[in-house]
Amino acid sequence: MAKEPKRPEDLSIWEDAHAMIRKAKAEGIETAWDRLERQTPHCKFCELGTTCRNCIMGPCRISTKPDSKMNLGVCGADADVVVARNFGRFIAGGSAGHSDHGRDLIEVLDAIVQGDTEHYHISEPEKLTRIAAEVGIATEGRELNEIASDLVDECYKDFGSRRSSLAFLSRVPEQRRVLWDRVGITPRGVDREIAEMMHRTHMGCDNDAPNTLLHSARCALSDGWGGSMIGTELSDVIFGTPTPSRSVSNLGVIKEDKVNILVHGHNPVVSEMILAAARIPELVEKAKAAGAAGINVAGLCCTGNELLMRQGIPMAGNHLMTELAIVTGAVESVVVDYQCIMPSMVTVAQCYHTRFITTAEKAKFTGAMHFEVHPHNALEQATAIVEESIKAYTERDKGRVEIPAEPVEIMTGFSNEAILSALGGTLTPLIDAIKAGKIRGIVGIVGCNNPKVKQDSANVGLAKELLKRDILVLVTGCVTTAAGKAGLLVPEGIEMAGEGLKEVCGALGIPPVLHLGSCVDNSRIMHLCGLVAKELGVDISDLPVGASSPEWYSEKAAAIGMYAVASGVMTHLGLPPNILGSETVTNIALEGLEDIVGAHFVVEGDYVKAAELLDARIRMKRVGLGLSE
Ligand code: SF4
Ligand code: MSK
């Protein structure tokens, strides 16, 4: 019997998504959910992580059945080796994504220092000087440009292989640094750890699964405390440190009477310029002359998060809303940089008047319009993109427009600096609230959507479960829009929190779920953990904290999970990585890492059970600190 097609209500918890899935179906447009159905069931070997394509004596499929004749690859690699190598390369891919993003920010700061750009500026001299001092650069009595130049050099050095440890490890508690040294996973250089992972996983190198896994931890640490952290900090220096502000979210932020430009990807370098161009009065006049009421820039995924955090622009949606946003028929252009951009969006855009515009030399899409953006031409290119979007508006088919929701209010902008300022300049009120049990613990819920999970059911469900237990929730990435749409990113959200959390957030006038930014901004959460641990004189693994990625899909999310665990934070994943074909690797991830780095992964698809596991961990850590459960 043919399988019943899934109803939109089974695919997502959101009405705006349901409406657009129906519209897409009616208009013959396919989405990720349709393609997932056709890809299911997936290859079992790949799901278990036991396929290897690392040389052409293969490809090999390693059977996990004990009596199989196929339990070794041609070279003799067994399931443990193959799974560990595949997982290592997966983590290296994620670390490379975040860190190459970080490098792009160094290049922009370098262009500012060299006078090679008129479009970007140092907008936070105080932060630049502060982080320069933090990494050991002399700042007293020096010109800002000299300090910036030295900071650029320091950051570039973090990518190379001349160092024994990264500059921002000064933010890591001493106990943890000693542990990393003892285990041999102190990250030395971002590019070095990534390149070494590729080397180790070449045929005939690291054929000891636990050893390969340790290097994946080192590789991920170079992302979390290196590439990502540089990305976050330099973005703040160039575009401003986020401060709390209000905005709105869901597909209702797309405006029927405006030229709608959606920015998508991760890096603020392009999207900030698009926003600047959209505010140029002559371009606004051009849009009006074309019959629109103005120009509306809204965000998707993490570049949206970057602009939301700093500029308060509205958020149209997260990962699984990206195709659906175009289906509204009211999007003039989707302007992308890189990462998490489904190639299918080119096709969806072609079904409408929508321009799909790429901007990065390293992320071109066949069939897209390409306006390459560099520091020296950024505003000119952004202006041309906005002009193209205005032209697209004149081609919009008004009969196909459907905007399915009213926007929901959200609050954003909780950088660590903003959190400290809300607390009166010191962590003491937060620590006191933790000690008193009003905030029993803190969990970062981060990451993506995955069509294998009903969209945002677990992202929102887990957040609500934790709030009830007086656990403060921090969000980044695509969980942001989920939490926002669920009403958790406004101060009124405290009604869904337990009494203690309600009291603390109510007194501060903040939401019970705080938005800390984009995927690279998970480094803010790591930094915050470091600050709290140092203040208490303990290791990060002693803190009543946890991490979770309930609906993750990407290599980058795995890298985030790995650096969280290696930093001492137990991390929940809603779906397993492709490692289950090796008992050794699975056992190390789920248990063994606890003995090595003081934290481990848990995999649990049921968000209520996941909340219980995180809660149990928090209880254990509280008792360890001599606090009430
Ligand atoms: Fe097969 Fe070994 Fe080559 Fe992998 S490295 S494809 S297991 S022969
Ligand atoms: S965009 S990595 S889908 S969070 Fe950062 Fe969202 Fe996950 Fe991409």
Summarize pLDDT for 549-595 with one digit per residue, the tens.
999 999 999 999 999 999 999 999 999 999 999 999 999 999 999 99
Best residue for ligand 2 mutational test, from 98, 303, 340, 452 (most atoms within 8 Å of Cβ): 340
387, 365 in Cβ contact below 8 A? no
| Residue located nearest, by CA, to atom 7 of ligand 1 | 73
Beta bridge partner(s), residue 445: 475, 548
**179 lies in the same domain as 324:** no
In a domain, 119, yes or no: yes
What is the predicted ipTM? 0.96
Does residue 268 share a domain with residue 376? yes
- Give the C-alpha separation, 197 to 248, whole Å: 41
From the CB of 447, is ligand 2 less than 6 Å away? yes
Residue 69 within a domain: no
Question: Does 525 contact ligand 2 (Cβ within 6 A)?
Answer: no
Q: What percent of the chain has pLDDT over 70?
A: 100
Contact 302, 266 (CB under 8 A): yes
79 lines ligand 1 (CB under 6 A): no
Same domain, 203 and 250: no
Please give the distance, rounded to the nearest whole angstrom, from the Cα atom of residue 198 to the centre of ligand 1.
14
For residue 529, being part of any structural domain is answered with: yes
- Measured from the CB, is residue 59 less than 6 Å from ligand 1? yes
Provide CB contacts within 8 A for 250, sequence distance 6+: 14, 16, 315, 316, 317, 405, 406, 407, 408, 481, 484, 485
Cα–Cα distance, 317 to 298 (Å, whole number)? 9
CA angle 526, 532, 533 (to 5 degrees): 85
Taking alpha carbons only, the member of 338, 85, 336, 328 closest to residue 199 is 85
Give phi and psi for 78, each to the nearest 5: -95, 180
Q: How far apart are alpha carbons 420 and 99 in whole angstroms?
A: 26
The answer to whether position 122 is within a domain reads: yes
Same domain? 570 vs 606? yes
Q: Is 219 annotated as a binding residue?
A: no
Is 7 contained in some domain?
A: no
Give the position, in ligand 2's atom list, of the atom nearest the Cα of 552.
Answer: 7
User: Same structural domain for residues 437 and 555?
Assistant: yes
- Rounded Cα distance between 362 and 349, Å, is 21
CA of 476 from ligand 2 middle (Å) equals: 9
Name the helix (H) or strand (E) containing 611. Answer: helix 607-624
Residue 579 to residue 136: CA distance in whole angstroms: 41
Residue 223 vs residues 115, 130, 190, 320, 482: alpha-carbon distances, Å: 29, 21, 7, 25, 25
What value does the mean pLDDT take over residues 161-179? 96
Query: Can you say how many angstroms the Cα of residue 292 is from the centroid of all Cα atoms in its chain?
Result: 34
Report the sign of the C-alpha dihedral through residues 428, 433, 437, 441, in that order. negative
Decide whether any atom of ligand 2 lies within 6 Å of the 324 Cβ. Answer: no
Q: What are the percentages of helix, strand and coil residues in the chain, rounded to 5?
A: 50, 10, 35
Q: How many angstroms separate the first and last alpha carbons of the chain? A: 53
Residue 308 reports pLDDT greater than 80: yes
Closest by CA to 155, choosing from 131, 184, 185, is 131
pLDDT for position 6: 86
Q: Say how many Å lie between the CA of residue 340 and the centre of ligand 2.
A: 6
Type of residue at 184: G
* Residue among 598, 533, 528, 544 at smallest CA distance from 185: 598
3-class state of residue 322 by DSSP: helix
- How much is the pLDDT for 66? 85
Residue 406 covered by a domain: no
User: What is the per-residue pLDDT for 364?
Assistant: 98
CA nearest neighbour of 234 among 109, 385, 64, 88: 109
Q: What is the pLDDT of residues 592-612, one digit of tens each?
A: 999 999 999 999 999 999 999
Provide the sign of the torsion angle of the four alpha carbons 54, 55, 59, 65, taken in this order: negative
For residues 375 and 456, membership in a common domain is answered with: no
pLDDT of residue 209: 98
Boundary-marking domain end, from 182, 215, 239: 239
Residues contacting residue 473 through CB under 8 Å, at least 6 positions apart: 442, 443, 444, 445, 463, 466, 467, 483, 488, 512, 513, 514
- Average pLDDT for 91-97: 98
Ranges assigned E (strand) in 100-257? 245-249
Atom number of ligand 1 nearest to Cα 82:
7
Q: What is the pLDDT of residue 376?
A: 96
Question: Which one, of 443, 441, 446, 451, lies nearest residue 550 by Cα?
Answer: 446
Structure tokens at 492: 């009124």
Evaluate whether residue 183 is within a structural domain. yes
- Print the domain residue range for 124: 79-239
What is the tens place of the pLDDT at every residue in 494-517? 999 999 999 999 999 999 999 999
Length of the chain: 629
Of 245, 282, 321, 269, nearest in space to 482 by CA: 321
Question: Which residue from 453, 478, 523, 552 has its CB within 8 A of the most atoms of ligand 2, so it is best to mutate?
Answer: 478
Specify the residue for token string 């700093």: 310
Q: Which amino acid, one-letter code, is at 367?
A: G
Residue type, 501: L
Residue 205 assigned ligand-binding role = no
Is residue 278 within 8 Å of 452, Cβ to Cβ? no
Structure confidence at residue 2 as a pLDDT band (50, 70, 90): low
Q: Are residues 501 and 523 in the same domain?
A: yes
55 CB less than 6 Å from ligand 1? yes
Alpha carbons 214 and 209: distance in angstroms, whole number: 9
Whichever domain contains 122, its CATH number is 1.20.1270.30
Last residue of a domain, one of 187, 222, 239: 239
C-alpha R_g of the chain: 24
- Is 428 a residue whose pLDDT tops 90? yes
Cα 273-480-417 angle, rounded to 5 deg = 70
**pLDDT per residue as tens digits for the range 215-265:** 999 999 999 999 999 999 999 999 999 999 999 999 999 999 999 999 999
Average pLDDT, integer, range 407-428: 96
60 is in an annotated binding site: yes
Output the CA 60–ligand 2 centroid distance in Å. Answer: 31
Tokens 């990435």 locate to 477
Alpha-carbon gap, residue 591 to 587, rounded angstroms: 6
| Mean pLDDT confidence for 10-36 | 98
DSSP code string of 392-439? HHTT--GGG-------EEEEE---HHHHHHHTTSSSHHHHHHHHTTSS
Residues 251, 234: one domain?
Answer: no
Q: DSSP per residue over 269-297, as a string? A: HHHHHHHHHHT-HHHHHHHHHTT-S-EEE
Question: Number of structural domains, the chain?
Answer: 4
Question: Is residue 46 marked as binding?
Answer: no
What strand order describes the sheet that includes 408-412? 369-370, 355-358, 333-336, 259-264, 295-300, 315-317, 245-249, 408-412
Nearest CA to ligand 1 atom 3: 55
pLDDT band at 1 (very low <50, low <70, confident <90, very high): low
Q: Is 351 annotated as a binding residue?
A: no
CATH classification at residue 337? 3.40.50.2030
pLDDT, the chain, mean: 97
Kindly state whether residues 595 and 454 are assigned to the same domain: yes
- pLDDT tens profile 24-35: 999 999 999 999
554 lines ligand 2 (CB under 6 A): yes
Q: What is the SS3 assignment for 426-494?
A: CCHHHHHHHHCCCCCEEEEECCCCCCCCCECHHHHHHHHHHHHCCEEEEEECCHHHHHHHCCCCCHHHH
One domain, residues 594 and 448: yes
Quick one: 463 and 522 in the same domain? Answer: yes
Q: 463: closest CA among 607, 575, 302, 617?
A: 607
Arithmetic mean of pLDDT, 521-529:
98
Domain endpoint, select from 176, 207, 239: 239
**Do 612 and 546 form a contact (C-beta atoms < 8 A)?**
no
Q: Which two tokens stand for residue 144?
A: 């800002």
Look at residue 516 and tell me if it is in a domain.
yes
539: which residues sit within 8 A by CB, 6+ positions away? Answer: 173, 175, 176, 179, 533, 568, 598
* DSSP category for residue 246: E
Q: What is the mean pLDDT of residues 210-219?
A: 98
Query: 426 with 572, same domain?
Result: yes
The share of the chain scoring above pLDDT 90, in percent, equals 98
Question: Is the distance from the beta carbon of residue 556 to the nearest atom of ligand 2 less than 6 Å?
Answer: yes
Quick one: 428 exposed, middle or buried, by C-beta within 10 A (0-12, 13-18, 19+)?
exposed
Mutation pick for ligand 2 pocket among 228, 232, 319 (CB with most ligand atoms within 8 Å): 319
Residue 69 confidence (pLDDT) above 70: yes
